Chains A and B, each alone.
Chain A
């Protein structure tokens, strides 16, 4: 049982050393936690509003367009002013007084009538490529919206005109009935007069109803409108009068129906019949902070374990305690297992506190199984402790150990999928992230906590393999230190 006594020598000693250095815990856990919390909770879900200058020539129509554009982009744009001088506006942009300048094209109507697109220019001074790309995407969406608005206005005017046309159709159908009555009574003279009136009505209708019916989306309507004059000519023949009159009435009824429908639809639907809608099937949608929080636990756990184990081993070498270990009947395995137990217990306590704070304090969702979460975290903990031994193995002084630990933390933040998805990396570099144990931990903790599914067995297997490998390396490193100093 002496081996057990020797092994258990470390948990108490390490725990007392850590607890007697509250600043160390503060720096290692609370500090990064608060920073990441501010990052997660403080980040906007939407793009920030941009202070914008509009440049529009002194034209009431353009000014109205600019006003509509600004209204449509409310929340994304904050209108600083509407000016006429584009150069002055650009100077204010360069001076940093505004963030965006939207220049409306002069004589846009004439340009469009000349069969050319009028160019709406959007100037910005962003050097951040991500922000610049966001502005370009925004520009595309905004111009598309503006185009839709213009077309919607045209359609609305068409709908107003459609009311007159519809009245004409109704008048033509009444005239057809009058003509039909005159023909049936055998009053040829009156029938001829009524037929002339009907011809005049349908000729006007053929011109007006065709384009409107086409806009309304009835493919057959323009054909019907074009055939009206032929139908009227057909009913001039007394033998086929009734049949042709019925056809004419059917066409007029169809045109009337199309126009009625056209007028009943909103212009916005007519110009943009489709809109996109995304549905998230992995449970309720998440806040940005909810998404990052579980990964924070993994990142902090690794940072804590690597730092504590690394510094502990290196300091014992610097202090000369490892010399005492070499003279004492202490085996390498007892030392390594003792440290695993010591820092494993500390790491477990800190992790439990962090998870509790996130789930019960900040309301981060925990959709999966707690046991699976514990499994993932234990695997991360063991791999991180092994990594700590490896850091100690390559560090001669504690300042070197701190530097390596910070390097590892940077790699973890940028390459483990913590901030940016690994899919965003090009294949030549994306694999580097998978060299870090945290990458597996981040992915699996998101699976368990956010998706509510079991951790991937492959990822878990690799992480456990990593933990074993790093533990073996840690054992070799500790053995080398004990035997060679």
Chain B
């Protein structure tokens, strides 16, 4: 069973000014358009998941949003200002977790975090804040360990700590869970959700498609093009043309009954699954409404059902469907 956070629109009223805005953004590098016509708008206090395969333009987008790169074309704004025009105060409101570890292998975890706090201008004493952040990412006990001796997961957690040590309003996290084991990834997302719940805006890129479920809004990027932008549920709907039902009958289902089911009003599509002619995958507009009607329909025809339930296919399938759809 999947869990995901409610969308921002469900939790709080929309705010007028987006925390992150991109309009018609294009980035051309080495004669190739790495990002094309990107349009996104991220509301404050939400987790925006930016999902796509390696080389699809995720990091380039983050680099444009953080002001590391200037877009070739289009408009980018973070907290209402183009990153190129950021003052030091504006920059202090932003947190950044780069894709690779950029901290210093010879320094301890504590020393690395203290250094990052310093370059964000956090004065002394700051021990309490550093401790709180290290405890948040469960690194307090390992604070004296050198970064070079820390595991990959520890290094990513330290990077997360470094991105939020100065208490930023907007955080750009470039593949924060890359190379992290599944258990830890789950913890990571729990922390990101907690940060979101504190009112922060998070722009998170990931290659793990399944992590879309933790986001409020997801942008799917492929070959530099934004192929979908929606809530996780919206993406599923978009990928398969509606919600999916998994139906299993007690005995084999004949062709005539299949044809009649297809003509039933909430049913948009109907396919057999497996060779035993007992399992169906049915696409409907809204699963909650369709399940009782379809169950009644089978009952009326004296066809006993073994089970009927909403099917939530993994986001891998959703992603593949969306990318294939966009390419076709």
Contact = CB atoms under 8 A, between A and B. Distances in A.
Interface of A: 1-3, 5-6, 8-9, 12-13, 16-17, 20-21, 319-321, 323-331, 485
A327 B107 contact: no
Given A328-B119, A330-B119, A485-B68, 16 more contacts: A1-B123, A2-B88, A12-B114, A13-B111, A13-B115, A16-B107, A17-B104, A319-B101, A319-B104, A323-B63, A324-B119, A326-B68, A327-B91, A327-B94, A328-B91, A329-B92
A477 to B, nearest CB: 18
B107 A17 contact: yes
B53 interface: no
B116 interface: yes
B2 to A, nearest CB: 33
Main secondary structure of the interface of B (DSSP, over half): loop
Given A5-B123, A6-B118, A320-B98, A327 B67 contact: yes
Contact of A321 (B90, B102, B146): B102
Given A8-B118, A328-B120, A329-B92, A323 B98 contact: yes
Given A13-B104, A319-B102, A6 B119 contact: yes
Contacts of A6: 118-121
B128 interface: no
A20 B144 CA distance: 14
Contacts of A16: 106-107, 111
A329 B88 contact: yes
Given A323-B98, A327-B68, A331-B88, A12 B115 contact: yes
B177 interface: no
Contact of A21 (B102, B106, B120, B123): B106
B91 A329 contact: yes
B178 interface: no
A326 B98 contact: no
Interface string B83-106: 000011111101010101111101
B122 interface: yes
Contact of B96 (A2, A12, A324): A324
Contacts of B119: 6, 9, 324-325, 328-330
B222 interface: no
A8 B124 CA distance: 12
B67 A326 contact: yes
Closest 9 CB pairs of A and B: A9-B118, A2-B121, A329-B88, A320-B102, A329-B91, A20-B106, A327-B96, A321-B102, A329-B92
A5 B91 CA distance: 16
A328 B172 CA distance: 12
Given A13-B115, A327-B68, A321 B103 contact: yes
B156 to A, nearest CB: 14
Interface residues of A: mostly helix, strand, loop or mixed?
helix
Contacts of B111: 12-13, 16
A411 to B, nearest CB: 31
8 contacts: A2-B121, A9-B118, A13-B111, A20-B106, A321-B104, A327-B91, A328-B120, A485-B68
Nearest to B159: A324
A366 B18 CA distance: 69
Contacts of A329: 87-92, 119-121
Contacts of A21: 106
Contacts of B120: 6, 328-329
A337 to B, nearest CB: 13
B155 interface: no
B248 to A, nearest CB: 52
A324 B89 contact: no
Contacts of A325: 119
Contacts of B27: none
B66 interface: yes
Contacts of A330: 88, 119
A325 B104 CA distance: 13
B277 to A, nearest CB: 56
A24 B69 CA distance: 35
B155 to A, nearest CB: 12
A102 B119 CA distance: 75
A419 to B, nearest CB: 35
Contacts of B121: 2-3, 5-6, 329
A322 to B, nearest CB: 8
B87, B88, B115, B118: residue with the most chain A Cβ atoms closer than 10 Å: B118
Nearest to B106: A20
